[in-house]
Structure 1
Amino acid sequence: MPSEKTYELNGFSLPVVFKDGVIQINGPEDLQRFLSADIDNRTLVLVALIKSDYLLRTNQALAIEDDSMIVEIWGHVYASHFAEALKNLVQMHLIEQMADFIIHRADTIDCGERDKDNNRVFWDLLSNFKGLILEFLPNELKA
């Protein structure tokens, strides 16, 4: 069932892979730049498009709440951004290795349903604090 679609949004190419109960967003650099302005609305638009296409491709709704998926995307985008900044700030081998691990994990954005993604409970819990999380995110991400 895996298939792929590339969304062209605001001049950015955002490839998404559709799997059974899981979507994977590729192109972390373009995703960061896409979210660099109006992060709340742009993330909402992307999630709505992905979920709509998932339904069209599988005849089933993706069983992930919008806010949970939004917060997970933010978690990946900002974790990668923070780790890269840390790596550039502290020039120690152990810190660089840890930052590389975070960057690699954060750049793989797999949003899965509860039975496919053991982190879904974590993102579902954090989604209750979406508004508060948004307050702490910068208005513009320097990608």
Structure 2
Amino acid sequence: MDKFYEIDNNKIKVSLDDGLIRLKSDKALWIYLDGAAIPQTLKLVKIIKSDYDSTFGKSLKISDNSLTVEIWAHVYSHYFGLLINRNNKIKWLRKLLLKGIERAEIIDCGEKSIDTNRWFWDLISGFKKPISWFIPKDIGKKKLIP
């Protein structure tokens, strides 16, 4: 079920399925996260999880921190892939980067029974604060995506 959450003048696209949420790494999400990624992501996570609970009548079994670091990983992989590829002239590297960019653009966050990588996000979620130090500044102002 596709939805748009209007948060701070940004339309964040989210899809809800049983045990799974999907976000789109796009300009709206980048602008929304820009400059205040920790509180903004936590706010988004709370909204998504609350809506999930209302929609399915049960809680999404993903911790806030795990969901946060997974969202960041995809958004910033998408960002860095586009940034590197912008001036890249090496054909084989361009193909490789484009594949990674496509994968990073859709953020699939599933419960353990669905998402085989959930253990990894759970593991690194304890390092949310130091991970946040590497978040690029002014990501929403970069002209990498329309």
What is the TM-score normalised by the length of structure 2?
0.91
1:20 maps to what in 2? 18
How far 1:37 moved relative to its partner? Answer: 2.2
d(CA) in 2 for partners of 1:30 and 1:111? Answer: 19
1:51 maps to what in 2? 49
Conserved? CA contact 1:76–1:109, under 8 Å:
yes
Letter in 1 for 2:129: G
Which of 71, 74, 79 is the matching residue for 2:72?
A: 74
* CA offset digits 1:40-67 (Å, max 9, x no partner): 1110000000000000011110000000
Conserved? CA contact 1:21–1:63, under 8 Å:
yes
d(CA) in 2 for partners of 1:27 and 1:131? Answer: 21
Letter in 2 for 1:116: I
1:35 aligns with 2:37: no
How far 1:32 moved relative to its partner? Answer: 1.2
1:76-115 map, 5 Å: 76-115=74-113
Query: More deviation in 30-39 or 42-51?
Result: 30-39
Conserved? CA contact 2:66–2:124, under 8 Å:
yes
Structure 1 runs not aligned, ≥5 long: none
d(CA) in 2 for partners of 1:125 and 1:27? Answer: 23
1:131 aligns with 2:122: no
Letter in 2 for 1:51: K
Conserved? CA contact 2:49–2:60, under 8 Å:
yes
Query: More deviation in 116-125 or 20-29?
Result: 20-29
Aligned residues: 141
Conserved? CA contact 1:54–1:61, under 8 Å:
yes
Letter in 2 for 1:43: T
How far 1:27 moved relative to its partner? Answer: 5.3
d(CA) in 2 for partners of 1:7 and 1:103? Answer: 24
Conserved? CA contact 1:36–1:140, under 8 Å:
yes
In percent, how many aligned pairs have the same letter? 37
Conserved? CA contact 2:25–2:74, under 8 Å:
no
Conserved? CA contact 1:72–1:123, under 8 Å:
yes
Letter in 2 for 1:136: F
How far 1:138 moved relative to its partner? Answer: 2.8
Which of 106, 112, 116 is the matching residue for 2:114?
A: 116
Letter in 2 for 1:65: S
